[in-house]
A = this chain, B = another copy of it.
Amino acid sequence: MKTAFLGLGRMGQGMAHRLVEAGHDLNVFDLYPEQAKSLVEAGATLSPSIAEAIVDSDAIITMLPSDGVLEAVVTSAGGLLESMQEGMTHVMMGTHGIGIVRKLTTLHTEAKQVFVAGHVLGRPDLAATGQLTIVPAGPTDTVERLQPIFDVLGKQTVVVGTDPQSSTAVKIANNFVLGAAIETMGEAMSLVRKLGVDAKLFHKILTNGLFGAPAYEVYGKMIAEEAWDSIGATAIIGLKDMNLALEAAEAAQVPLPSAAIFRDRLLGAIAHGEGELDWAVAAREQARGSGLE
- Shortest CB distance A237–B (Å): 14
Using CB atoms, name the residue of chain B closest to A185: B177
Tell me, yes or no, whether A197 is within 8 Å of chain B by CB.
yes
Chain B neighbourhood of A259, CB < 8 A: 187
Chain B neighbourhood of A257, CB < 8 A: 187, 257, 260-261, 264
Tell me, yes or no, whether A178 is within 8 Å of chain B by CB.
yes
The one of B161, B216, B239, B255 that contacts A213, using a Cβ cutoff of 8 Å: B216
Given contacts A191-B169, A192-B173, contact A289 B201 (CB under 8 A): no
- Shortest CB distance A208–B (Å): 7
Query: Which of A6-14, A76-84, A145-153, A267-275 lies at the interface?
Result: A267-275
Given contacts A161-B196, A176-B188, A196-B166, contact A205 B258 (CB under 8 A): no
Number of copies of this chain that the complex holds: 4
- Shortest CB distance A116–B (Å): 14
With contacts A174-B188, A177-B188 known, what are 17 further pairs, Cβ within 8 A?
A160-B201, A161-B196, A173-B192, A173-B202, A174-B210, A177-B185, A180-B184, A187-B254, A190-B252, A190-B254, A194-B253, A195-B248, A210-B213, A254-B290, A255-B271, A255-B286, A271-B290
Interface residues of A in 235-256 (CB under 8 A from B): 239, 243, 245-246, 248-256
Given contacts A180-B258, A196-B163, A215-B210, contact A205 B291 (CB under 8 A): no
A203-227, CB under 8 A of B: which get 1 and which 0? 0111111111111100000000000
Contact across chains for B209 and A212 when beta carbons are under 8 A apart: no
Distance between Cα atoms of A134 and B241 in the complex (Å)? 37
Chain B neighbourhood of A55, CB < 8 A: none
Query: A-side binding surface: helix, strand, loop or mixed?
Result: helix
28 A–B contacts, CB within 8 A, in A order: A121-B205, A158-B208, A165-B196, A168-B195, A169-B192, A169-B195, A172-B191, A173-B188, A176-B191, A180-B184, A181-B181, A181-B184, A184-B184, A187-B257, A190-B252, A191-B245, A194-B252, A194-B254, A210-B213, A211-B214, A212-B213, A213-B213, A243-B250, A253-B267, A254-B271, A255-B265, A256-B264, A258-B261
